[in-house]
Amino acid sequence: MTITVGDTIPAATLTKVTSDGPDQVSTADFFAGRTVALFAVPGAFTPTCSAKHLPGFVEKREELAARGVDEVACTSVNDAFVMGAWAKSAEAEGITMLADGNGDFAQAIGLTMDGSKFGMGTRSQRYTMLVEDGVVKQLHVEAPGEFKVSSAEYLLGEL
């Protein structure tokens, strides 16, 4: 079942990319007591994700903060080392990278996609989610192959 507005983020473990290396974090701890703009991409270093999605959130991070977002985070079904390398290459300062290496979080929220025809296996759908104290307040899931409602600009317009 797909997560919806009003639902609580389910229990899962993600790997947070830090300057000291990978750090396991529970979703309960990560989302507790604050407002997080979470965006998901099908894969690090993929064309739309690298050219538009991540750069948009890097560019709009301060505007999101001015509107009450405490943290901007990106998740993908990639390992923490790939997510760390992607953040470094994209100069994604201020964006928290959350690796969902096995896709457990994407499955728990019902937002997986089958990328096997591209050699990618099961991945996360592209979406943006606004989470307040662990509860989904906004959810914008893209149609396959599109990049409209999950952009930083769109989310800003909804705040």
- Domains of the chain and CATH, by start: 13-144 (3.40.30.10)
Indicate the SS3 state at residue 6: coil
Once rounded to an integer, what is the mean pLDDT over residues 117-135? Answer: 88
CA distance linking residue 99 with residue 77, whole number of Å: 6
Tell me, yes or no, if 49 is annotated catalytic: yes
pTM value is 0.92
Which residue of the set 37, 49, 129, 152 is catalytic? Answer: 49
- How many Å apart are CA 73 and CA 57, to the nearest integer? 9
- Residues paired with 36 in a beta bridge: 71, 131
Smallest CA-to-CA distance from 15 within 58, 79, 60 is with: 79
Average per-residue pLDDT for the chain: 92
Mean pLDDT computed over 103-123: 85
Q: Could you count the other beta carbons within 10 Å of the beta carbon of residue 4?
A: 10
* Average pLDDT rounded to a whole number, residues 19-31: 94
> Residue 24 pLDDT more than 80?
yes
Q: What is the pLDDT of residue 95?
A: 96
